[in-house]
Structure 1
């Protein structure tokens, strides 16, 4: 049974790659090549020929990936000069440089050289997102810029795929322009789907059936359909919950995509030489990103961390190649895997690496700073609330009744805007971003409430406040006793258990409202 062999090899080599700190998809590609080699030897008796089942699974993985990209397609995440300008300039310069180089070196047509340059211009969404998430830097300024550029690259890739496919839409394709009218209905379906398997099924229905098959039926790209239906839901409050619920399903199906590439054929000498040469020019990709970020007034540190996260080749390039350049799929797969071998270890030491190079890099900084990297001053603020979720908002509103000069910080820009619209003194800042702490001024601060949902953010905030010389009162909440102890060790004066404090608050309401409260109180005291 070939499926059992595929799963076994994919798991084994994927686990091995993860153990050495590399993305598992490198293992999936390797598993495909190993299976292809074993199948080429009849004496071993292993059949690993690609089948229609594997091809179908691979296609479903691509559609789900594009659907989840669409779910993140909020205009605010890409409408900024450094994201739009940086991504488009990088794409244009890369194609202008790579296209003639590939044409001359490989003796291929200008069209193929251009498409290869396009495929090599993209950076890996999978690798960059995982690296930033592991370092808790997705919401840091350089993390947001990196993800924004990756989304722009995904849109460019989709446009190239649609043009390369050369499909002629039918007259029914005009229905697509009316899809935004379905947003209220789709929002109601998302609300009604709950939090379990119905939510996953709704995502698969929209991505694979209505978006995928529906767009194919009217002569449009199924990939375009999956992306559009994801984008329609992007502004729903539960869009990220839907994306998370589909994450594992998407990842499993994408395993089929990478397996299919490997099983399709072993790399020859020319493929390996192509990958090695592409790896040698990979630093140029990062250098170009760095200077483009400085062009848009980012600090050297933010530009360096952004460019390092994007210094790799993309699995999206393989998706483009699967449609436009199938004969180049194996060389590009080796190229992507090799770039991961280089990029993943470098990103793990990104901060120490910058410290060693900073004296050389800061000389390239602009004297003008990006608005998001200007120093943050708390002015005469005496009490600071960090994190404006339900707990932080409740603490802020309660403290607002006192005479204390109050300010709150949050790392979610839309949430900050909502609080500001309600009259709360809330500004954007991310406790996990070292840039924020380096620029922070707090001359009058006396107390801090740590109400962020993430334990790492609380630990970082407590440590950095003490490191900056803050001697006032720091209080936090958490769900677990061991986390409370870690927060105290990081520098907080007190860390209370959320559920315990909720019980105390409920009991206090009971004593205030129930007629028998005096008896209950005296019984409690006895």
Structure 2
């Protein structure tokens, strides 16, 4: 018992220390877990032989991950995305697998081992790439959407891969040498089914097929007809822990059924998730399973890191590093060809190419699974794990490289699109015409005033023109574009750019050129408000402020206040917030986060107390009058 508690403390402590640091550095949680495992394993030697036993338990986190992926994929949504998934994603997996398989066979591996290697390296890191896309605001770009489609295809493809890999396993009479070549021995056992539960161990081929189809059909029928009555029965007990128990029972029970018929537990979990995706209890399942999935999957990555044999890297560092670079290069070439074929241009092309060029966390899963199924030898698996980890560690550098290429790109496809010549001027200049800017443009234009709209996204401008709105393609932060748009005579400048740094740059220049110009700027949060305020903007509108304020008024109207009282509270809150912003701007420090700025925190608390007192006073006075 003491040994178990000590090991648990080591694993959890390493995760708590390493993962937040990796997240703050922008490396992602997966790399944090790997680093934690490397620290307590190869570096400090705090864990040892129990790692492999623990890894079998932690692999259940992968099963839960695939169940949650299935819950997010409604059959209708999958069908609507079929062209992109099968086309772009399917080609990426097929071509990458073929390229890596060919390279592995040239290095002397047998075709079955080479195919397993190709499947492992064809996958990219969903966790790292999606987190990076979200942090950099690239998810809605053409390159970001294409990248997401490929990642989704890869996640789905893990299921057939897990089903295929056991078919590549060599019989018990065959083992693998360290280099993956075949070494044959005399049969010394009675089959893998000996001593384990199995419904198909002694059945003929047609019997195995029937039992397998029956098991899959049972999962589908239970999900369609049995799930709702069972969930309603559990709901009647009004015990939260019973929902958690049922969610775990679904995953564990289906995994056990799949093992009985000789299939991958992950396949059954994914299938059950897809079947339950349309259920009204889907969100309950996600909420209950997510914590277990996160902990077990994190534990799995820690055990992978702890099990990495760095002696292999020390024994032949140039070969391992060269193979890691070759993986990124080969995969990058395949992705670049697909990007060109998909007509991705400029930054989107490089985002797609470099963003997916690494190996991924599912590679660890497939490697461990292949090793357990006697598909690849131990020595080769140790090299594969090192190559995957190194490629993932290089991923942040690939995104930096993408930004450098984008900055100094000489891509003729990008240069071919020249900025428009602005042949008109207006009372109002609108810089940026996304969801925010287009509403401003429609309102002002409908009132009979002329606007000059400038945006750096040619697709957005083309879409505007299709609907009869006039706009100009160009960089609104460029002085020549602003002068051509009539900055010298304009009365109002609306800064509605997505990029906060570009917005501040534009406000600074416009205020310098036109001290009398009225500047209205869009801000994401209070920090942006303070920066724009110091840059010289007159009116600053936070993206979510007005809509949130209106939602709050609706809440007050439906919990007892009259419409007039709710409107008064909304008006008071709005006026107080404008006053508070000016007050807090005086103590805001751009070099310190708001939570660590003592003067800011103290003043914010004072202003919040003032707001509560003012609202209560007004509401009490209004009720007294009534």
Is this a same-fold pair by TM over 0.5? yes
SS of residue in 2 equivalent to 1:9: helix
Per-residue deviation, 1:491: 7.2
Q: Which moved more, 1:254-263 or 1:307-316?
A: 254-263
Partner residue, 1:298? 344
Q: Which moved more, 1:320-329 or 1:288-297?
A: 320-329
- Equivalent positions of 1:41-80 (< 5 A) are 49-50=50-51, 52=53, 55-56=56-57, 58-73=58-73, 74-75=77-78, 78-80=81-83
Query: Is residue 231–residue 281 contact of structure 2 (8 Å, CA) maintained in 1?
Result: no
SS of residue in 2 equivalent to 1:22: coil
2-structure distance, mates of 1:39, 1:91: 38
Query: Is residue 2–residue 47 contact of structure 1 (8 Å, CA) maintained in 2?
Result: no
1-structure distance, mates of 2:31, 2:104: 25
Using structure 2 for the length normalisation, give the TM-score.
0.58
Query: Is residue 290–residue 303 contact of structure 1 (8 Å, CA) maintained in 2?
Result: yes
- Equivalent positions of 1:75-114 (< 5 A) are 75=78, 78-81=81-84, 84-105=86-107, 107-114=108-115
Partner residue, 1:259? 302
Partner residue, 1:279? 324
SS of residue in 2 equivalent to 1:108: coil
Q: Which moved more, 1:174-183 or 1:283-292?
A: 174-183
- Equivalent positions of 1:184-223 (< 5 A) are 185=228, 205-206=246-247, 208-217=248-257, 219=261, 220-223=263-266
1-structure distance, mates of 2:227, 2:537: 45
Is residue 2:404 matched to residue 1:333?
Answer: no
Partner residue, 1:414? none
SS of residue in 2 equivalent to 1:50: helix
Aligned-CA RMSD value: 5.6
2-structure distance, mates of 1:513, 1:80: 49
- Equivalent positions of 1:403-442 (< 5 A) are none
Task: Figure out how many residues of one structure are paired with residues of the other and give that number.
Answer: 463
Partner residue, 1:494? 539
Query: Is residue 332–residue 356 contact of structure 2 (8 Å, CA) maintained in 1?
Result: yes
2-structure distance, mates of 1:301, 1:240: 36
Among candidates 397, 413, 416, match of residue 345 of structure 1: 397
2-structure distance, mates of 1:64, 1:14: 21
Query: Is residue 224–residue 275 contact of structure 2 (8 Å, CA) maintained in 1?
Result: no
SS of residue in 2 equivalent to 1:325: helix
- Equivalent positions of 1:30-45 (< 5 A) are 30-33=35-38, 35-37=40-42
**Residue ranges of structure 2 left out of the alignment (5+ in a row):** 1-5, 168-199, 201-207, 373-377, 452-466, 512-516, 569-617
Partner residue, 1:224? 267
Partner residue, 1:430? none
Are residues 510 and 340 of structure 1, via their aligned partners in 2, closer, same or farther at CA, if it must alter by over 3 Å?
A: same
Partner residue, 1:22? 27
Per-residue deviation, 1:463: 5.0
Is residue 2:11 matched to residue 1:6?
Answer: yes
Partner residue, 2:182? none
Are residues 475 and 504 of structure 1, via their aligned partners in 2, closer, same or farther at CA, if it must alter by over 3 Å?
A: farther
Partner residue, 2:460? none
Query: Is residue 312–residue 382 contact of structure 2 (8 Å, CA) maintained in 1?
Result: no
Query: Is residue 86–residue 289 contact of structure 1 (8 Å, CA) maintained in 2?
Result: no
1-structure distance, mates of 2:307, 2:92: 32
Per-residue deviation, 1:118: 1.0
Per-residue deviation, 1:351: 1.8
Is residue 2:357 matched to residue 1:319?
Answer: no
Are residues 401 and 203 of structure 1, via their aligned partners in 2, closer, same or farther at CA, if it must alter by over 3 Å?
A: farther
Per-residue deviation, 1:180: 6.6
Superimposed CA distance per residue, residues 320-345 of structure 1 (whole angstroms, 9 cap, x where no aligned partner): 22222343443222111101222212
Per-residue deviation, 1:448: 9.3
Among candidates 202, 206, 217, match of residue 174 of structure 1: 217
SS of residue in 2 equivalent to 1:338: helix
Query: Is residue 78–residue 152 contact of structure 1 (8 Å, CA) maintained in 2?
Result: no
Query: Is residue 162–residue 267 contact of structure 2 (8 Å, CA) maintained in 1?
Result: no
Superimposed CA distance per residue, residues 227-282 of structure 1 (whole angstroms, 9 cap, x where no aligned partner): 23443565789979986886665333222112323444634437966642321211
Q: Which moved more, 1:179-188 or 1:266-275?
A: 179-188
2-structure distance, mates of 1:76, 1:386: 32
- Equivalent positions of 1:230-241 (< 5 A) are 230-232=273-275
SS of residue in 1 equivalent to 2:51: coil
2-structure distance, mates of 1:115, 1:215: 23
Query: Is residue 478–residue 495 contact of structure 1 (8 Å, CA) maintained in 2?
Result: no
2-structure distance, mates of 1:290, 1:468: 38
Superimposed CA distance per residue, residues 79-126 of structure 1 (whole angstroms, 9 cap, x where no aligned partner): 454x54332223222222221321231x33210111101101111111
Superimposed CA distance per residue, residues 138-157 of structure 1 (whole angstroms, 9 cap, x where no aligned partner): 22222121111011112222
Are residues 210 and 237 of structure 1, via their aligned partners in 2, closer, same or farther at CA, if it must alter by over 3 Å?
A: closer
Using structure 1 for the length normalisation, give the TM-score.
0.67
Are residues 24 and 216 of structure 1, via their aligned partners in 2, closer, same or farther at CA, if it must alter by over 3 Å?
A: same
